[in-house]
Amino acid sequence: MPPLANKLVDVAMAIALTAAIVGIVIVFNNLLTMPRNSWSGFAHWYSFILRPDILGMMILTACVTTGYSVWQRGRGR
C-alpha cells in the first residue's frame, strides 16, 4: 500500500473510532435515563454524528493528528 493510502486509512480509522465511542456514550446514557425507549439513543447519536460541524471537527482532528505524527517521525523523534 502506498504511504498516502496508509495515512488515509489511519485518518478513516480515527474518525470511525471517534464516532463509535461517541455512539457508545450516547446510547448508554440514553439506556440509563430512559430504559424503555432504547432505540431513541441510536437516533440521537445518528442525528448528532451527521451534523456537518461534528463531521468536520472529527475529520480535521484526525488529519491534524496524523499529520503531526508524520511530521514528528520525519524529525527523528
Average pLDDT by stretches of 10, the chain with 77 residues: 85 91 89 81 89 93 90 74
Residue 76: the pLDDT is: 62
Residue 16: the pLDDT is: 92
Taking the domains of the chain in order of start, what are their residue ranges?
8-67
Is residue 40 within 8 A of residue 34, CB to CB? The reply is yes
Q: What is the pTM of this model?
A: 0.76
